[in-house]
Structure 1
């Protein structure tokens, strides 16, 4: 089974993130994995342990910022600055959709782009099987199978070099246990099974109300494939049938609890309270046959031409949402300690000191880590002083003064 997990890089902290057009300047920010996507990754690992398959991580964004996040998803660390703690051994493959024309996309254009990426993933895996079908009866069959196997495009059930799996489809064909018709039938059934994939996503992202991106991706992909791909949001519990035909999900909509049987292919967005079930050990052996060789040495970067996307439907051009003028949201309030922190007592224009430029600063701003000699001079001039209780009350209440009296 192909398990596609949609992830996104979000700003690590509050900062000046808006341009005049209202588009996030992701290339200028430190990005981390969207915390809600961790639930989708845990759900993917549960599915792989029950039915096997390949966990494919799919994202869209600037390569220099998203690639470091993806690299850590191959082998998650106990402590990471980019990825929250996730209970899973890592993804099998990472694909990044990165193209300047994709920038500035709203949820509609983002959904279209992600759907084209998923469509390309399915196409590549189907073409791999078709290469094997065409090679049946030729001397190149096993060499082609070996190449596809090491590229993570066919699972162990088709071809395997694991010593514990000696009854793959091609191994049985080579030993004479099945004939050419049996081999073709096995490849056909596997290719049909590629259509029973699942897409997982977080409930939303922390940098905007993007909860509709998942369902819109399912709708866009369904239109491309000519079929209905059901989507279920706010999934709190999930259990997949070992046959890989359907999943049973539980979701809460206010006070309403729904238990749904959802056929594959489908798309699920995981609630923040989702916790994966513990699969039965009886499924592990069967699931191993459906696994692929992990592609942990590379991140595939696909542009608009490679996925066959219509440029008019990408990025800002393909976004029907009209974004008004942006506003600088500023920086978070710096922590100030009464009696310790140094703050500016007055507005200070930009100035030169020691061959470097400093400022401008506003009254009340926390004095940054300036050279000791410079701070000494500024304190002597009355530009900088220690933060007081009166300063704090002035910031909080706007002009209250501390009055002391003796009783």
Structure 2
């Protein structure tokens, strides 16, 4: 089974967020794994231990900043700068979607890009199986075994199809090499495997720490449904789920307010994992079969795919493909400052800029306190009555807009 886990690199500190014209400059920030993705990773590990397969992490963003995160996800470390502590053995494969054309994407453009990446990942596996079926049908046993070994080493075939493990002696191609099965049986098994590939699962975190929408998961399912021509059901707020060992269905549980819902869906599907999720313990009866349906390698290096490789439409990527319109910013005021009547020096009028000893200061608004200016400059401004002590009249003007006569004794 293909277990696709969508993860994201988020700014390590929100105080270091860098934007230019509304586009988040992730390449200029230190990124870490989105903490909400931890539950999705734990869910992916539960699925692998239950039904076998391989876990692939897919993310989008600047390659140099995401490689350290992906490196720590292949073999989790106790102390990682980029990844929190997670109870799992590591990802089998990792894919980074990285292209300057993807920058500035809103949730819909992000979902479209991820869907293109997932489609390409599935396509690579289907093409590998189809290629092997063609060789089995037309070529000799030795040629078939040679290609099967090549695809096995590339992580396209699980152990039950081809294996070098001593514990797996009855793989499809082992029996084919011994003459125990013929071409028809091998082709039938490969077709079953191809059908099994189509029953994949996508797991995502509930949201990201740098955004509260939680829309990327469901929107990715929608975009992928349109691309594949097959409905990909999505279930959000998943607090618990179980998957059928035969890949017939998934039963998910979620809470909406005070209502607990249990839903049954077919595969393929997408689950958005809630932060309350706790992974189940896979039944011991499925462990052996799960190992047979797992893949041979945990690849050391992540794949880096650009927009051309995933056949993405450039007009639907990044800022160009984002239907969200970000309006102009509004001045909501400065942080409150403490001023004392009769003590604090403030500007008595607006000042655009001040030049002093080769340095530029300002601009300043009327009422701004005089902070961090050279003493000589402050003395000069005081002599010009540009700055002076904060008075009671200044306070009344700030609070009430000035003193007005509202009544007069006759």
Contact 1:20/1:327 (<8 A) preserved:
no
Match of residue 147 from structure 1: 150
Query: How many angstroms does 1:14 deviate by?
Result: 1.9
Aligned: 1:247 with 2:250: yes
Contact 1:197/1:265 (<8 A) preserved:
yes
Contact 2:145/2:177 (<8 A) preserved:
no
Q: 1:222 aligns with which of 220, 225, 243?
A: 225
Task: Let me know the Cα RMSD of the aligned residues.
Answer: 3.2
Match of residue 381 from structure 1: none
Secondary structure of 1:57's aligned partner: strand
Match of residue 189 from structure 1: 192
| TM superposition score normalised by structure 2 | 0.80
Contact 1:17/1:328 (<8 A) preserved:
no
Q: Aligned equivalents of 2:253 and 2:33: distance in 1?
A: 26
Match of residue 199 from structure 1: 202
Match of residue 48 from structure 1: 48
Q: 1:279 aligns with which of 267, 282, 297?
A: 282
* Distance of aligned partners of 1:219 and 1:150 in 2 relative to their CA distance in 1, 3 Å threshold: same
Higher Cα radius of gyration: 2
Aligned: 1:118 with 2:121: no
Contact 1:5/1:58 (<8 A) preserved:
yes
Q: Aligned equivalents of 1:304 and 1:12: distance in 2?
A: 26
Match of residue 387 from structure 1: none
Query: How many angstroms does 1:18 deviate by?
Result: 4.6
Q: Deviations over 1:165-193 (max 9, x none)?
A: 01101011111221110000000111011
Q: Aligned equivalents of 1:227 and 1:28: distance in 2?
A: 39
Query: How many angstroms does 1:350 deviate by?
Result: 11
Match of residue 75 from structure 1: 75
Query: How many angstroms does 1:325 deviate by?
Result: 3.8
Q: Deviations over 1:115-153 (max 9, x none)?
A: 000000110001111111111133321121111111111
* Distance of aligned partners of 1:327 and 1:121 in 2 relative to their CA distance in 1, 3 Å threshold: farther
Secondary structure of 2:309's aligned partner: helix
Q: What residue ranges of structure 1 are gaps of 5+ in the alignment? A: 333-344, 368-377, 379-398, 400-407
Q: Aligned equivalents of 2:179 and 2:149: distance in 1?
A: 19
Query: How many angstroms does 1:17 deviate by?
Result: 2.2
Secondary structure of 1:15's aligned partner: helix
Moved over 4 A (4+): 326-329, 349-352
Q: Deviations over 1:206-237 (max 9, x none)?
A: 10123111001001101111111100000000
Aligned: 1:59 with 2:59: yes
Q: Aligned equivalents of 1:103 and 1:278: distance in 2?
A: 40
Aligned: 1:27 with 2:30: no
